Amino acid sequence: MKHFAQIVLAATILSVGALHGAVAEERILPVPAVTIYAGDTIQESMLKDRAFPENYRYRTAVVESPRVLTGKMARRTLLPGEPIPMNAVDDPKLVTRGVQAQIVFEEGGLSIMGVGIPLQSGTMGETIQVKNVDSGRVITGRVQADGRVRIGVY
């Protein structure tokens, strides 16, 4: 009986040691606290930290910092408690395809403004094509922080 008690005690010590080792080898990742739908802007309050085993295999590269996610737009639905793939988030679109946007041409002291229909959505600094509503011509411009498209020399 004494021998059996020693084996049980040794097994308990080993299992506690194994649990302690498993806890030390965790990886903390940001995960959604609520369902985040495609097109939603991610806010810090929508995220929480969750521990994953160090040897856990992800299907794709995942976001490891909540700072990277704040202000980004979800490209697809993100489920609570699941790691967030890098390709599931994007910079917010300042210009939306098919929705009128202001186009601006500035050079020297000359400034010309007009209206255009973007042929593609775009984020800040991205070069996109826009159809000028007045002339019908397709022009190329760069999306500005205020949502306008600057054409010409940028």
Residue 17, pLDDT > 60, answer no
Strand locations in 37-109 (E): 47-53, 73-74, 89-90, 101-107
Task: Determine the length of the chain.
Answer: 154
Backbone angles phi, psi at 22, to 5 degrees: -65, -40
Residue tagged 């700072």 (tokens): 67
User: At 60, is the pLDDT very low, low, confident or very high (cuts 50, 70, 90)?
Assistant: confident
**Taking a C-beta distance cutoff of 8 angstroms, is the pair 150, 142 a contact?**
yes
Q: What is the C-alpha separation between 35 and 31, in angstroms, rounded?
A: 10
> Tell me: the pLDDT tens digits for 76-107?
999 999 999 999 999 989 999 999 999 999 88
Distance of alpha carbon 6 from its chain centroid, rounded? Answer: 53
